Structures are given as C-alpha cells and as structure tokens.
Structure 1
C-alpha cells in the first residue's frame, strides 16, 4: 500500500503582508499551512493574504494559535489556566475561520504554536482545554499535536480527529519531547540530515534522540518551520526525497 504523509509549514508570521518570507515559494512543496492568528505573529492583512495564497495553491488551511506574546514570538512559556487557554485558542481559531470562509475556503485543522504547543504536549488539563475549544467550534477540524503527547490524547478523548506531528528541523529527547531551543543542537541545519530523519520517521516509525536512544514515533504530518533560515531548501529537499521513496504528500483527510 502506498504511504501518504502531510507536509506542513507555519506561515503568515509577519505583519502588514509586506514580508511573508518564504511563504509564497513554500506553498509549492507543502500540503498544509498553519496560519498565525495575531497573538504571537500576524495581523488581519497578513492572515487574509496567507489564506489567499493557500487557496490558490490548493494547500489546506489551519489555524496556528499562540500565546499573546508578540515580543517573544509566542515561544516563552506563560502561566495560564486551562480556561484562559480555552478562550485564547477559541478566539484565534474564530478569527481565521471567518477570514477563510470570507475568501471561499474551509478551515481544515488547528495546530497550536510555540510555547502553547509544548505546554499542551505535557499538561493534560491545558491539552483538554485546547481540544475542547477546537471541538466546540467545529468538530470536523483536525487537531495537530506532537506525536505521543498529551495534546494528541486529549484530542482523541474529546472526539477529534488528530494528526501526530513530527519535525524535520528539530532534534528529540528520550521522552519524545523536542529539544529546547535554548539547548545546543536543538535545530537541524543540514537538509540531508533533515530528510534522512524524516524518511526514517515515516518508513520505520523511529527517531534517534540526542541521548543516542532510538524511540518509536508516529508520523502523520511533518513540520518544516516557515521562519527557519533554511526553510525553503529543506522543503525542496524533503519534498523530493519523500516522493523518490514512493511516498505521497497529501493533506490529512477530514
């Protein structure tokens, strides 16, 4: 049976739609776009421009809600209650949902951003709050979360379809979590290394950790960070290697 995998990227993480980075070029190599909703990055003009680009490229549109921290780009942990997490996620998804529908599209998925993503990967109560916000708004939305995390468990518990996400440009710890960006060797900067890690995760369901331990991992969707310095090169390399190995790049079916 032919394997399929979703290839996603975080997009719209700029302001005024003047500097979209590699977003336009990246659209040719991905199947899903996670669009910043204004709290960690993005604004209405940028959101709409990114939605338009995704629709023109036949790329699935997802909401990418983050913590309300523009200065820290949503990557700094904050002390929030599950209720606060519910509200901020619901608010941001609603904004992108309206923008997408106004452009004639349909929202496909939700993927939390940065610190919110990592917090929900470990905190069951916060993970449930995020999952419930998604479910309450639209139970057909797919919830993207770190493979093996509390967020994936929470999504399944409330009745959502989930997509276990792995990363092309990040290294892993033995507990299955990503290496902190504040630690050495958190980022993979070599496209060949990234593509080899991706292929192994898809084909074998395995990844080598920073501790030299091999762990099991489920790969439904692969993330390439759109703001990364090597994002476009990585996308081209990984897209080519995936197809060369007989794997189809395709959005998660709702």
Structure 2
C-alpha cells in the first residue's frame, strides 16, 4: 500500500517517471524471457543495458535530497531573496496565524494584500491572531516570545494593540475580495502562512517559535508544497482550519472602532 502511495506522489509531482517507465519495460522483458523463442537476444541485451545505464545515471544524483532539504528548512532571511510580493503576485487565498502578526501586517504588506489578493474576484484573506482580552495567554506568550529573545525589538502587548487597530481598519475596506479576521484564546507555539493552499501550486510556511532565540528572524521555518510534502502539507492546512473554527470574531465593528471618544466632563465644562 505504501509503495502505491509513493508511486502516486511521484507521478503527481512528475518525479522519477523515466525510472518507472523503464521498470515496466524490464518487467515485460523478464516475463517474455520465460518463453525463450519469443524474445531475441538483441532485445534482451538492449533492455539490460538500458537498466544499467539508468542505474548509473541515478548514482550521479546523490545531491538532490540535500537540495530538497535546503528548500524545506530556512529562517526569515529567505524572504530577503523571495519577498512577500513574489508569493502574493498571483494568490487568491491567503490564510495567516501569528500571535500578533505585527511583522507580516506592516503598512506595506497590507497595501500589497489589498492590491493583489483582495483586488481579485473571490479573493480571500483570513487572519487569526492572539485574543488580547485573554490576559493570561498574552502574558504567557509574551514570556515565550519577548523574554526568551536575546535582542528584542518589540513587545507583544503593544504589537497586539497595533495589529488590532490595523485589522479593524482593514475589515472596513471596500474590495473585490473578502477580508476576515478572528481572535484565538491561546498561542499554540507556531505561526502559519498559507498561500493558495487548495491548489497544486500552494505553499504552507510554518514558523516554529522554539524556546530561546537570538532574534525573531532566527526562528526555524518549514516551507511545504503539496507535491513534495503532501502528508504534512495537508496536516498544516487542517491546523489552520481548526484554529479558524476555534477562534472568535471581534465584537468591535469598524464603524465603532473609528467613532470619536466622548470628551471628559471637565473638558466639556472648560469649553462651555
């Protein structure tokens, strides 16, 4: 059963097709060799040498697994070479979970999402962050993400406040696509970015928070694709779906978030 599943994954990823084709031919020749008078010697030798040639060729490809690991494992520095704009250029479905998402949802990134994903019909951007009203969860997450970093540049409570304001403003945008956000009651210890996860060319990026880091940029990232990592790709997509269902909607609407606060009584009296 596992062999069939592996062959199916290889065909879906268009890998090792030459080896499978030659294997079928060799098995065919082996079957025909039972009937010696049905198979000429020249054909037998041709099949044998083809198999040996393919085997020798495969021996020259020993570096391929190392390259695959390089594509799979990295840190945030990889986005200096492959910026977010390249990932979102053709995207229609973006899903994000991060405790504060303050680094991802910079003003420039929000504008990029508006001009790409949300500018498309049926485009969708869904964001989940830590619920700022869950004070115990915020304190625990701040201890992990702020206090365990050697060179911190921000603090979680302030980052959450900034992101909440930005999400509320974004939810009031008039765009062709749909924007939604929700709030999760605790931090599961990782961040997720999913780009077109239901398509063959989708990507899943997992950031592992870890216990101690020199900086937030040094955290380990896993970048998964459906063809190469189908099992774990599907796993992490379902992780986001479960978090989305468990998270709650914000109880503050864009209009109420933007409404001016009433002036204090002493200020009103001074004006009068």
Give the TM-score normalised by the residue count of structure 2.
0.27
Higher Cα Rg: structure 1 or 2?
Answer: 2
- Which structure is higher in helix share? 2
